[in-house]
């Protein structure tokens, strides 16, 4: 709660306008997703119905990227919390950590769409991102990542101990801080990399993507936010009325 206090020296009164900030929630579906494959630097998956993260039984690494469009949030929104949710569809049993890292470079997606489980990518098309390229020209070149394997913050914004075939959630103050920064500077909204457990082989997991088939679960970002309004014209008029009434009482005494 924030108070705006106005003092009237002439009337000898104090007028306090109290504004309450009420929390609201919005749930956004991912607008972009992609998977990149370490063993084939030209392999892409920009339009598939799955994303993958972790290391395969052969020791190859998969990393995925997710982006959410924040433009529908009201101007001046102050984020209180953020939670990302995805469904793990397939992977080795047991509990495995998976983490979200803020992407630090622009990336794009193309029309590449592997078949089956999408555990192996297909040749990159125009606009696809790959292990080497943040945006491929479709002819074995393009705009390179600052670092092969993707450009992202070294410190995770959130980590979750995930299980298989269930809805998984990532929630932290750092996620909310990422989203707040992107809300303030939309051109810096590059989304998050989703990394699996890369410390051991056989940890790769498959999840629904932003292009999930009918019946799938799109990755979502739930934001809790508030608006803290400045005193409006009506509130100021109300305050002026109170002070005017107080002045009249003073003049009559």
- All structural domains of the chain with their residue ranges: 1-16+233-253, 22-227
Cα–Cα distance for residue pair 45/54, rounded to 1 Å: 15
Cα–Cα distance for residue pair 223/60, rounded to 1 Å: 34
| Residue 21, both tokens | 């900030």
For the chain, the average pLDDT equals: 86
Query: For the chain, what is the radius of gyration of the CA atoms?
Result: 25
Confidence of residue 22 (pLDDT cuts 50, 70, 90): confident
Tell me how crowded residue 170 is: count the other CB atoms within 10 A of its CB: 23
Confidence of residue 92 (pLDDT cuts 50, 70, 90): confident
Cα–Cα distance for residue pair 8/248, rounded to 1 Å: 13
Q: What is the mean pLDDT of residues 14-37?
A: 76
Model pTM? 0.82
From 75-84, 190-199, 243-252, the region with the lowest mean pLDDT:
243-252
| Antiparallel, parallel or unpaired: β 50-55 and 142-144 | unpaired
Question: Per DSSP, what are the bridge partners of residue 16?
Answer: 5
Phi, psi of 87 (to 5 degrees): -105, 125
Q: Which of 146, 114, 148, 141 is nearest to 127 (CA)?
A: 141
For the stretch 66-78, pLDDT in tens is 999 999 999 899 9
């Amino acid at each position: 709660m924030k108070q705006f206090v106005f003092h009237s020296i002439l009337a000898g009164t104090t007028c306090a306008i109290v504004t309450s900030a009420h929390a609201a929630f919005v749930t956004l579906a991912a607008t972009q997703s992609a998977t990149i494959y370490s063993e084939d630097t030209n392999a892409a998956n920009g339009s598939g119905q799955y994303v993958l993260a972790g290391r395969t039984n052969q020791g190859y690494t998969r990393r995925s990227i997710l982006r959410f469009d924040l433009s529908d949030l009201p101007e001046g929104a102050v984020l209180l919390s953020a939670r990302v949710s995805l469904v793990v569809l397939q992977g080795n049993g047991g509990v495995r950590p998976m983490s979200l890292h803020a992407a630090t470079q622009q990336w794009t997606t193309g029309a590449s769409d592997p078949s089956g489980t999408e555990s192996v990518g297909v040749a990159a098309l125009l606009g696809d991102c790959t292990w080497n390229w943040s945006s491929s020209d479709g002819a074995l070149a393009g705009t390179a990542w600052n670092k092969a394997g993707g450009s992202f913050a070294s410190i995770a914004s959130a980590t979750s101990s995930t299980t298989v075939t269930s809805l998984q959630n990532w929630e932290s103050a750092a996620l909310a801080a990422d989203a707040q920064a992107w809300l303030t500077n939309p051109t810096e909204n590059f989304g998050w990399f989703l990394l699996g457990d890369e410390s051991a082989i056989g940890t790769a997991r498959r999840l629904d993507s932003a292009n999930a088939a009918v019946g799938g679960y799109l990755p979502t970002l739930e934001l809790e936010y508030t608006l803290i309004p400045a005193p409006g014209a009506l509130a100021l008029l109300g305050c002026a009325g109170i002070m005017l009434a107080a002045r009249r009482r003073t003049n009559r005494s």
